[in-house]
C-alpha cells in the first residue's frame, strides 16, 4: 500500500487546465460605471498578458519553461495516503491528500506567485504591490519576486501583522517591504484610520491600498497582484489537481468519490478540484466540496451578487457570492478564509449546482487538525484544518454506510507560522461564532441597485 506517491520532474504537467472552456463565463467583470470593465481600466492594475489568461477560452494553456524551472524546486508535490488517520477513524474509506506545504513559503500560493511574477516581468513591470491576510500570500509573492527579480510591496492586514510577526520577517528575508494595513501610505488607509484608528484591517481594505499604490505609479511599471479569486490565479493552481490525477493513476486508483478543499478566495480548492470538475461536467459522479468557516459563510449563506472586490470600491465589481464589501470579520479566525467574496468561477459552479459547499465551526476544525497532527504528523494551517474536518466527516459517513469511498483533499499549507491559533485552542480561548444573517443583508443593502448575475 503506497504511503506517498511522487512524480519525477519530467512527469510534471506542462499545461494548466482552464475551466472557462467547460463552464462558459456568463457574467463579465464590471467597472465603476457598472458596465463591463474595459481592458484600459483593468490594465492600470494588472499586466495585460495575465488579463488575457483570465478571459482565455482555451482549455489548455502552456506553462512557460522558465516557470517550470522554478516550480521544480518543490514540484511535483507529493500525494499522501492518510493511513494513520484512516486507522484512527476505523473507516473503510481511503483518504488521500495533496501536500502543498512543501513549497518554500509553506503553502500552495507560490504556484501562482511564480507565474504572476514571470508574466509581469515579461510585460515590463518592475514592482508588484499586493495585500496579504495571514501572510501566506505576501510571503509567496515576496519569494517569487526574489527569484524572478522584481520589487515587492505588501499591505498586511493589521490583526495578522500583530499576531504573526514572523511572516513579515520571511517577506523581509526575500527582500519585500511589508507594512500593516490600514496604513498611512494611501488615501484608502488614511480614510479608514481617520474613522477608526484601531481598525483591525481586513483583506478588503488591504486590497484597496495595494491597488491604489499600484495605480499611483503613472509610469505603468508598478502593477497589482492578487493571490486568489481571479480566473488566471485559479488556472495556475490547477497544476495541483493535474498532478494528483497522474499520481492516483500511477497507483491504479481510478474513481474518485469526494474531492475537498478549504476556500477563502477559492484558489487552492479550485486548483485541486477543477480538473475533477471537468470530469463531473462530462458525467462523472463526484462530490466536490469547498469548505468555509461559519464565521465567514460566503458560499453557504451569502447570495450570488455583483459586488466590489474591496472595501474602498477601487477594485472591479465581480459576480460572486459575497458577504458585502464592507465585511470586517471577527479577528480570531483562520486569516486566509476571511475574504468577503468568492472566486467568480467557483461562485458560478455553485450556482450551476456542480459543487456542494459546507461550513464548519472553528473548534471542530482545530480538533480535526489535532487528530491529523497525531496520526499523520503534519501540523496544518488553520485554513487547511477546514478541509481536514470535512475529510474526517466524509470518512465517518463512509464508515456508517459501510462504503469503501475514495476521498481526496488539498493539504493547502502547514501551520508552523500559525501556532498562536493552536496555543489559544489549547488554552480554551477559542469559541465558535456564526456570522449573523442580518449583517449580510445590511451590508448588501448598499449594492441593492447593482445588476444581478445570471445564474445558469
Ligand X SMILES: *Cc1c(COP(=O)(O)O)cnc(C)c1O
Q: What is the distance between the alpha carbons of residues 375 and 388, in angstroms, rounded to a whole number?
A: 12
Q: Least Å distance between CB 338 and ligand X? A: 9
Q: Which of 68, 114, 262, 272 binds ligand X (CB under 6 A)?
A: 262
Q: Which of 128, 192, 205, 263 binds ligand X (CB under 6 A)?
A: 263
* Binding track, positions 212-241, relative to ligand X; x by CB under 6 A: ----------------x-------------
* Binding track, positions 281-320, relative to ligand X; x by CB under 6 A: ----------------------------------------
Q: Is 264 in the site for ligand X (CB under 6 A)?
A: yes
Q: Least Å distance between CB 340 and ligand X? A: 13
HEC letters along the chain: CCCEECCCHHHCCCEEECHHHCCCCCCCCECCCCCECCHHHHHHHCCHHHHHHHHCCCCEEECCHHHHHHHCCCCCCCEEECHHHHHHHCCCCEEEEEEHHHCCCCECCHHHHHHHHHHHHHCCCCEEEEEECCCHHHHHHHHHHHHHCCEEEEEEEHHHHHHCHHHHHHHHHCCCEEEEECCCCCHHHHHHHHHCCCCCCCHHHHHHHHHHHHHCCCCCCEEECCCCCCHHHHHHHCHHHHHHHHHHHHCCCCCCCEEEEECCCCHHHHHHHHHHHHHHHCCCCCEEEEEEECCCCCCCCCCEEEEECCCCCCCCEEEEECCCCCCCCCCCCCHHHCCCCCCHHHHHHHHCCCCCCEEECHHHHHHHHHHHHHHCCCCECCCCHHHHHHHHHHHHHHHHHCCCCEEEEEECEECCCCHHHHHHHHCCCCCCCCCCHHHHHHHHHCCCCCCCCCCC
Q: Which of 78, 110, 309, 413 binds ligand X (CB under 6 A)?
A: 413
135's torsion region: left (phi>0), alpha (psi -120 to 50) or beta? left
Q: Which of 127, 358, 412, 443 binds ligand X (CB under 6 A)?
A: 412
Cβ closest to ligand X, residue 202 vs residue 222: 202
Binding segment (CB under 6 A) for ligand X, from list 196-204, 378-386, 400-408, 425-433: 378-386
Q: Least Å distance between CB 97 and ligand X? A: 13
Q: Give the footprint of ligand X on residues 337-376 (CB under 6 A).
A: 337
Q: Least Å distance between CB 107 and ligand X? A: 4
Q: Which of 253, 307, 383, 394 binds ligand X (CB under 6 A)?
A: 383
Q: Is 329 in the site for ligand X (CB under 6 A)?
A: no
Binding segment (CB under 6 A) for ligand X, from list 260-268, 309-317, 363-371, 439-447: 260-268
Binding segment (CB under 6 A) for ligand X, from list 148-156, 167-175, 262-270, 448-456: 262-270
Q: Is 265 in the site for ligand X (CB under 6 A)?
A: yes
Q: Which of 348, 384, 385, 393 binds ligand X (CB under 6 A)?
A: 384
Q: What is the distance between the alpha carbons of residues 313 and 205, in angstroms, rounded to a whole number?
A: 9
Q: Least Å distance between CB 378 and ligand X? A: 12
* Binding track, positions 122-161, relative to ligand X; x by CB under 6 A: --------------xx------------------------
Cβ closest to ligand X, residue 136 vs residue 160: 136
Query: In sequence order, which residues have a C-beta less than 8 Å from that of residue 172 and are 6 or more positions away?
Result: 178
Query: In sequence order, which residues have a C-beta less than 8 Å from that of residue 145 and are 6 or more positions away?
Result: 113, 117, 128, 151, 152, 174, 175, 176
Q: Is 391 in the site for ligand X (CB under 6 A)?
A: no
Backbone angles phi, psi at 224, to 5 degrees: -100, 140
* Binding track, positions 96-115, relative to ligand X; x by CB under 6 A: -----------x-x------
Any idea what the Cα angle at residue 393 is, between residues 388 and 396, rounded to 5°? 125
Cβ closest to ligand X, residue 20 vs residue 412: 412
Cβ pair 358, 325 in contact under 8 A? no
How many residues form the binding site for ligand X (CB under 6 A)?
20
Q: Least Å distance between CB 168 and ligand X? A: 15
Cβ closest to ligand X, residue 349 vs residue 398: 349
Binding segment (CB under 6 A) for ligand X, from list 215-223, 298-306, 377-385, 433-441: 377-385
Q: Least Å distance between CB 384 and ligand X? A: 5
Q: Which of 110, 189, 266, 316 binds ligand X (CB under 6 A)?
A: 266
Q: Least Å distance between CB 392 and ligand X? A: 17
List of residues contacting ligand X (CB under 6 A):
107, 109, 136-137, 228, 262-269, 336-337, 381, 383-384, 412-413
Amino acid at each position: 500500500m503506497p504511503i506517498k506517491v511522487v512524480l519525477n520532474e519530467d512527469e510534471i504537467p506542462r499545461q494548466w487546465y482552464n475551466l472557462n472552456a467547460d463552464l462558459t463565463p456568463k457574467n463579465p467583470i464590471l467597472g465603476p460605471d457598472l458596465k463591463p470593465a474595459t481592458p484600459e481600466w483593468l490594465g492600470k492594475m494588472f499586466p495585460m498578458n495575465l488579463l488575457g489568461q483570465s478571459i482565455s477560452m482555451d482549455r489548455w494553456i502552456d506553462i512557460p519553461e522558465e516557470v517550470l524551472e522554478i516550480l521544480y524546486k518543490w514540484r511535483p508535490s507529493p500525494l499522501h495516503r492518510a493511513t494513520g488517520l484512516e486507522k484512527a477513524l476505523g473507516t473503510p474509506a481511503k483518504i488521500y491528500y495533496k501536500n502543498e506545504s512543501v513549497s518554500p513559503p509553506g503553502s500552495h500560493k507560490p504556484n501562482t506567485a511564480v507565474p504572476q511574477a514571470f508574466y509581469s516581468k515579461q510585460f515590463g513591470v518592475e514592482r508588484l504591490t499586493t495585500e496579504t491576510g495571514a501572510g501566506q500570500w505576501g510571503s509567496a509573492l515576496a519569494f517569487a519576486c526574489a527569484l524572478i527579480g522584481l520589487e515587492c510591496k505588501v499591505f498586511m492586514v493589521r490583526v495578522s501583522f500583530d499576531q504573526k510577526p514572523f511572516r513579515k520577517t520571511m517577506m523581509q528575508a526575500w527582500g519585500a517591504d511589508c507594512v500593516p494595513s490600514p496604513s498611512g501610505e494611501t488615501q484608502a488607509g488614511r480614510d479608514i484610520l481617520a474613522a477608526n484608528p484601531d481598525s483591525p484591517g481586513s483583506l478588503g481594505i488591504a486590497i484597496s491600498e495595494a491597488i491604489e499604490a499600484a495605480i499611483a505609479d503613472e509610469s505603468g511599471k508598478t502593477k497589482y497582484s492578487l493571490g486568489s479569486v481571479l480566473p488566471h490565479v485559479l488556472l495556475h493552481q490547477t497544476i495541483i489537481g493535474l498532478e494528483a490525477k497522474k499520481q492516483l493513476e500511477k497507483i491504479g486508483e481510478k474513481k474518485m468519490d469526494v474531492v475537498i478543499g478549504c476556500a477563502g478566495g477559492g484558489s487552492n480548492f479550485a486548483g485541486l478540484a477543477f480538473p475533477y470538475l471537468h470530469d463531473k461536467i462530462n458525467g462523472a459522479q463526484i462530490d466536490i466540496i469547498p469548505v468555509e468557516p461559519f464565521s465567514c459563510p460566503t458560499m453557504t449563506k451569502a447570495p450570488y451578487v455583483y459586488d466590489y472586490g474591496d472595501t474602498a470600491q477601487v477594485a472591479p465589481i465581480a459576480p460572486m457570492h459575497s458577504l458585502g464589501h464592507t465585511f470586517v470579520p471577527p479577528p480570531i479566525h483562520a486569516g486566509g478564509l476571511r475574504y468577503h467574496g468568492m472566486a467568480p468561477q467557483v461562485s458560478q459552479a455553485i450556482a450551476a449546482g456542480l459543487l456542494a459547499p459546507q461550513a464548519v465551526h472553528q473548534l471542530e476544525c482545530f480538533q480535526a487538525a489535532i487528530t491529523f497532527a497525531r496520526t499523520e504528523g503534519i501540523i496544518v494551517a488553520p485554513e487547511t484544518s477546514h478541509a481536514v474536518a470535512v475529510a474526517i466527516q466524509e470518512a465517518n459517513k463512509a464508515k456508517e454506510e459501510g462504503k469503501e469511498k475514495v476521498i481526496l483533499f488539498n493539504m493547502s499549507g502547514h501551520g508552523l507560522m500559525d501556532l498562536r491559533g493552536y496555543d489559544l485552542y489549547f488554552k480554551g480561548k477559542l469559541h465558535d461564532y456564526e456570522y449573523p444573517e442580518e449583517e449580510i443583508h445590511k451590508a448588501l443593502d448598499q449594492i441593492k441597485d447593482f445588476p444581478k448575475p445570471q445564474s445558469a
